[in-house]
Structure 1
Amino acid sequence: MLRNSAGRLTVLASTVLMLVGVVSAGAAQAQAPGGPITYSIDFSNPRESDDNNLPEPYGEVVVRAPWGQQTALWEHPDRDINTPTLPRYPLYGGAEHRYVPHPVTEVCAFVGEDDTGINEDDVLADGCVPYTGPGRYTISAEGGSVTITVYDFG
């Protein structure tokens, strides 16, 4: 009888451990989605007043995970008079693709606009917004805005 009870207890314990392992694995998979992201970025500076009235953005646009890990969607250094004009990324329509190895909870833009020789640089975007799925995310600052359109993720 004692041997029978010990056997049943062992089977019960094994079953519980197996279920805990399955639940943990499922939770880990639910917490770690990632995959390709398809997006485009529009830069807007209404105060731009040079020859072509188009912005020369520099800085970075990223997506962040809940624990702070981030993946750059676009980045460019400030090269003063050599910062290229870029009203949209990618420049000629369409969308860009990048692999993001983590879940996304925020879309962030920290983007300035080069005005070397005319006046001080403008700030187009400085901050983050919560990611809620495919759609448009506009991040603004006193000099303009940056709109990130996410077409697909995952």
Structure 2
Amino acid sequence: MRFKSVGRLAAVASAVLLLLGGAATSAQAAAPGPVAYSIDFSNPQEQDDNNLPEPYGRVWVQAPWGQQTALWEHPDVDINTPTLPRYPDDGPYSVRYADHPVTELCALVGEDDTGINDDDTLAAGCVPVEGPGTYTIPGPDGSVTITLYDV
């Protein structure tokens, strides 16, 4: 009877080690560290004075267990939401430190429309991160494109 219990315990321990080994491998591929990025906001329906979006919301990177690091965020301040077609607007890229593995890139970004129009949704959702590259998160009214230069 004791041998059966030990055998089951060994089988469970082996399965756990296999699972942890796979998790460690994927965590090593996207280890904690600096994230260099830029963000482009697109709203093809924008038809105000400058034809540029006034985005608000949040863009972030996420760990497998849900921990998040914000890359960009701005509140909706109605008529005072600034025009921002690209972030950062004063350089080629920005850098944030993520103290967790990065496996997803997420965005929930609206676009302020004043007057009789409802606000647009530029991006809503997450995409898997497989390293540096360009990732687009679509929404019903536009998209947000994030370029990861280093992750």
Which of 121, 129, 144 is matched with 2:127 structurally? 129
Letter in 2 for 1:36: P
For 2:89 and 2:96, the matched residues in 1 are separated by 16
Could you say what secondary structure the match of 2:83 adopts?
coil
Letter in 2 for 1:119: N
54-63 vs 29-38, greater mean Cα deviation: 29-38
* Deviant stretches of 4+, over 4 Å: none
TM-score of the superposed pair, with normalisation by structure 1: 0.79
* Cα RMSD (Å): 2.2
For 2:37 and 2:133, the matched residues in 1 are separated by 9
- 1:147 is matched with 145
Gaps of 5+ in 2: 1-20
TM-score of the superposed pair, with normalisation by structure 2: 0.80
Which of 43, 63, 82 is matched with 1:65 structurally? 63
| Aligned positions, number | 130
- 2:52 is matched with 54
1:8-47 alignment to 2 at 5 Å? 27=24, 30=28, 33-47=31-45
Q: 1:32 to 1:128 in 2, by over 3 A?
A: closer
For 1:111 and 1:69, the matched residues in 2 are separated by 19
Gaps of 5+ in 1: 1-23
Letter in 2 for 1:146: V
